[in-house]
Amino acid sequence: MSSRVFDYIAQEEQRQQTTVELIASENFVSADVLRAVGSCLTNKYSEGYPARRALGNQGRYYGGCAVVDQLEEYCIARWKEVFHTDYHVNVQPHSGSSANLAAYFALLQPGDSILSMSLSNGAHLTHGSPVNFSGKLYDMHFYDVDENGFIDYDAMARMARTLRPKLILAGASAYSRIIDYRRFADAARETGALFMVDMAHVAGLVAADEHPSPFGLADVITTTTHKTLRGPRGGLIFCRPELAKRIDSAVFPGTQGGPLQHVIAGKAVAAEEALTPAFRTYIHAVVANSRAMADEFTAMGYKVVTGGTDNHMFLLDLTDTGLTGKQVQEALDGAGITLNKNCVPGDRRSPFQTSGVRIGTAAMTTRGYTAEDFRRVAHRIDAMLRTLSPAENAADKRA
């Protein structure tokens, strides 16, 4: 037995239990999710899919899959229920990035054009970063936010008309407002593009009806399961039934081998939990807490990007303070408050420094924090920021 490894786990458990966790993409799973992910299912190989004649798949490539076949079907059925959808569901992606890779692989050829949100203003690495497979394999074009930080839907639609992209992508890692999926769907329909949504950040809100749903509008929807959905680290893909075979083939054998049945079990538990009234209450509190904290910062004179939030997170724009996001992240780390630096719209500092920080309420709401607790943390952050001196020439530094 490796006491070293279990020491590290104990240390991390202690860190998680004693810090204020404000990273917008993190959460704390239930004991049942942990139990499923730590189960004997990790021992099982099950390349392929539970045999379904309707999809023309051949079943598994290994024996002994009778139980995991039922488990995977059960997981699929629960996620359909969570999102009230008859879209096809693939529960095998190992992560959100794997889900996006498979979705592109299913729908596009290398060199095809994608219209996606600009990376510096809130999109994810897999939405076309030049250092990511998405930016290397596809012809990426980016729509942006307006001067107030809101998605510029008119400009996006104009770009779609000019570019006629093969795919329009909606979704973000650092956008605090409702995303109007209908505007994207209209642009896609008008220009003959496929429409894909990466709802990783807001999936829990969609499940609890706190954010408009992309189902019925998008051709393909990807998500992670570990953010606001509060499940294990992993991905899911939903698609219109006519795309099912392409999506399944793109996941396996296209981009992955054996699925992680222990994680699929954790995803199934998370879906069961997302179906409970308690989950709706939780997500409602996440959004209310995010609003309360953003409003408290505004009241203290800070600039919140877009002036507020509709979801589980917001961006604090530190440009006027002269502080960098990196400086603030590091100082708060030392004070037991965990968040991450983030570019803000029009940021003149590098992504290594940034002029902002991203703050999320999903994890600490799970821990039982109320709006008053989040206001108190806002004041602790303010007190810490007052002790820092503005960085000089931070725009040029690489750290």
Give 44 or 124: the residue with its C-beta nearer to ligand DSN: 124
Question: Measured from the CB atom, is 24 or 304 closer to ligand DSN?
Answer: 24
Indicate the residue among 49 and 314 with the shorter CB distance to ligand DSN. 314
**Is residue 329 close enough to count as binding ligand DSN by CB under 6 A?**
no
Instruction: Quote the least distance from Cβ 121 to ligand DSN, whole Å.
Output: 14
Cβ within 8 Å of residue 314, ≥6 positions away: 176, 290, 293, 294, 297, 304, 305, 306, 308, 358, 359
Taking the complex as a whole, the smallest distance from the CB of residue 124 to ligand DSN amounts, in Å, to: 5
Query: Cβ distance 357 to 315 under 8 Å?
Result: yes
Q: Which of 44, 267 has the CB closer to ligand DSN? A: 267
- Quick one: 50 or 96, whose CB is closer to ligand DSN? 96
Q: Is 96 in the site for ligand DSN (CB under 6 A)?
A: yes
Q: What angle do CA 373, 377, 382 make, to 5 degrees?
A: 150
How far is the C-alpha of 71 from the C-alpha of 69, rounded, in Å? 5
Q: How far is the CB of 302 from ligand DSN (least distance, A)?
A: 21
Tokens of 396: 């040029």
- Site for ligand DSN contains 124 (CB under 6 A): yes
Q: Residue 233 catalytic?
A: yes
To the nearest whole angstrom, how small is the minimum distance from the Cβ of residue 10 to ligand DSN? 25
Exactly one of 47, 139, 152, 186 is catalytic; name it: 47
Q: Hey, what are 24's tokens?
A: 């917008």
Distance, in Å, from the CA atom of 395 to the CA atom of 351, rounded to the nearest integer, reads: 9
Q: What amino acid is encoded at 328 in this protein?
A: V
Tokens of 187: 């642009």
Q: Which member of 126, 222, 224, 324 is catalytic? A: 224
Whether 143 is catalytic is no
Number of amino acids touching ligand DSN (CB under 6 A)? 5
The phi, psi pair for 301, rounded to 5°, reads 100, 5
Binding map of ligand DSN across residues 17-56, x = CB under 6 A, - = no contact: --------x-------------------------------
| Backbone φ, ψ for residue 3 (5° rounding) | -70, -30
- Is 249 an interacting residue with respect to ligand DSN (CB under 6 A)? no
The kind and range of the H/E element at 5 are: helix 3-18
Question: Does 149 contact ligand DSN by CB under 6 A?
Answer: no
184-223 residues in contact with ligand DSN (CB under 6 A) are: 200
Instruction: Please report the DSSP string for 15-79 in residue order.
Output: HHHHSEE--TT-----HHHHHHHTSGGGG----B-S--GGGT---BSSS--HHHHHHHHHHHHHH
CA distance 317 to 324: 10
Which C-beta is closer to ligand DSN: that of 96 or that of 231?
A: 96
- Which listed residue (52, 80, 183, 233) is catalytic? 233
Interface with ligand DSN includes 173 (CB under 6 A)?
yes
Q: How many CB atoms lie within 10 A of CB 53?
A: 7
Q: In this structure, what are the phi and psi dihedrals at residue 327, rounded to the nearest 5 degrees? A: -60, -45
Is residue 94 part of the contact set for ligand DSN (CB under 6 A)?
A: no
- Would you say 187 or 205 has its CB closer to ligand DSN? 205
Q: Of residues 26, 72, 198, 248, which has the active-site annotation?
A: 198
DSSP state of 94: S
Q: How far apart are CB 175 and ligand DSN at their closest, in Å?
A: 10
Write out the two tokens for 87. 């879209």
Residue 198 is among the residues annotated as catalytic for this protein: yes
- Closest distance to ligand DSN from the beta carbon of 173 (Å): 4
Whether residue 80 lies in the annotated active site = no
Which residues of this chain interact with ligand DSN, rule CB under 6 A?
A: 25, 96, 124, 173, 200
Residues annotated catalytic, as ranges: 45, 47, 198, 224, 227, 233
